[in-house]
Amino acid sequence: MTYSGFDRQTGMAISDDAHITQSMYDILHTPIGSRVMRREYGSLLSELIDEPDNKATRLKVMSACYMALMRWEPRISLQRIEVKPDENNVPTLYFQGTKTDNQPFTAEIPRG
């Protein structure tokens, strides 16, 4: 199945993995309760911003990501989530899984 839409930054057409990744970004960066008419949409990531950078917080972040994406992004099934800094030391979320057509899927989303 092919997915298509528009890039929220450039307005250019995007499809498939880029469309899913953009949707994941939107879900994860939308605080629960902030969307009018769909208050339950989003994730709990925003509640973890000032938490210390330790194993317990990373587990909470992974759990918040998994729960939100399991509920709001039906096109993927996640097998792995990692939280680690990128080359610029920005906390980044790394995802591995499969799409509903059983094709492999990976995504990288900045946490901030």
For every residue of 13-67, DSSP letters joined together read EEEHHHHHHHHHHHHHTSBTT-STT-TT-SBSGGGGTTS-SSHHHHHHHHHHHHH
In the sheet that 76-85 helps form, which strands lie side by side, from edge to edge?
Answer: 76-85, 91-99, 104-110
Among residues 53, 52, 49, 95, the alpha carbon closest in space to that of 76 is found at 95
> How many Cβ atoms from other residues are within 10 Å of residue 14's Cβ?
17
What pLDDT is stored for residue 66 in this prediction?
97
Give the C-alpha separation, 88 to 111, whole Å.
13
pLDDT of the residue at 112: 63
If you average pLDDT over every residue of the chain, what do you get? 91
Own/partner pairs, 32-41, CB within 8 angstroms, 24+ separation: 41/72
- CATH code of the region 4-110: 3.10.450.40
35: pLDDT strictly greater than 70: yes
pLDDT digits (tens, 9 = 90+) for 63-101: 999 999 999 999 999 999 999 888 888 889 999 999 999
Tokens (6 digits) for 39: 């208050």
In this prediction, residue 106 has a pLDDT band, given cuts at 50, 70 and 90, of very high
> What pTM was computed for the model?
0.89
In this prediction, residue 53 carries a pLDDT of: 86
